[in-house]
Amino acid sequence: MTAAPAPAPATVRSVMTAKPYTVRPDAEFSEIAKLLAAKRISGVPVVDPDGRPVGVVTEADLLSRGDHPERRFRRRAPHGHARCARELMSAPVLAVDASDSVLTAARELSRTGVRRLCVVDGERLVGVLSRADLLRGFLRHDEEIRRDIVDDVFGLRLGVPAGSVGVAVERGVVTLLGQLPAKSDVELATTLTERVSGVVEVRNRLDYVWNDRQGREHRWIHL
């Protein structure tokens, strides 16, 4: 029997702002200020001639006249004397890959406390991911999320009979309850559930009958 395909993960590429406005390292203060005002954006990536992000300049960077002690990033020069993007920008760049899941990006935004992340494909900038962009990936009703998990993850992918596993969803937080045959099934259930669009967090309380991760001869194989 051919295994059903896994649910397609919600990726950063699907919610990011593509083709963002950018500036070069030698862009002057006034040029950056005009761009932010004209486009009504709060920050802009700084890219090198090869399209690789090397920093970010925000409204706060333009307005600031001194370093903030809690700021994580190294400043190129005191803001009172900075005249170009190279001297104003925050570096190094915080970035995620376009193929990363929105859950991974959400964790990175939470961990760093920044408002936006650069999105790269290889080394080149392909987009920007803001908190607002990310929220669009989570705007799904709990029941819709639950239905995808029950039908696609457990029904099609894991072949678990309906009703044998409990799936509860509240504001995107998923709780899994019940028992599966093997430990590998429990691990796979977590991985696949995290990929479902709209999932913010997975609380896996599933148990298993036997541990197939201890070198036993027979293993459950998921194709």
* Planar angle of CA 206, 208, 213, nearest 5 degrees: 120
Q: Greater confidence, 214 or 48?
A: 48
Question: How would CATH label the architecture of 142-210?
Answer: 2-Layer Sandwich (3.30)
Look at residue 77 and tell me whether its pLDDT is greater than 50: no
What is the C-alpha separation between 104 and 69, in angstroms, rounded?
Answer: 28
Q: In this structure, what are the phi and psi dihedrals at residue 14, rounded to the nearest 5 degrees?
A: -75, -15
How does residue 69 score in pLDDT terms, banded at 50, 70 and 90?
very low
Q: Give one word for 28, left, alpha or beta, with left for phi > 0 and alpha for psi -120 to 50.
A: beta
User: Longest Cα pair distance anywhere in the chain, in angstroms?
Assistant: 68
What is the C-alpha separation between 149 and 166, in angstroms, rounded?
Answer: 10
User: What local confidence, expressed as pLDDT, does residue 26 receive?
Assistant: 95
User: What local confidence, expressed as pLDDT, does residue 2 receive?
Assistant: 43
* Residue 141 three-state SS: coil
Q: Are strands 43-47 and 165-170 parallel, antiparallel or unpaired?
A: unpaired
Please report, to the nearest 10 degrees, the dihedral formed by the alpha carbons of residues 179, 185, 189, 191 taken in order. Answer: 150
Superfamily of domain 12-136: CBS-domain (3.10.580.10)
Domains of the chain, residue spans: 12-136, 142-210
Q: How deeply is 152 buried, as exposed, middle or buried, from its count of CB atoms within 10 A (0-12, 13-18, 19+)?
A: buried
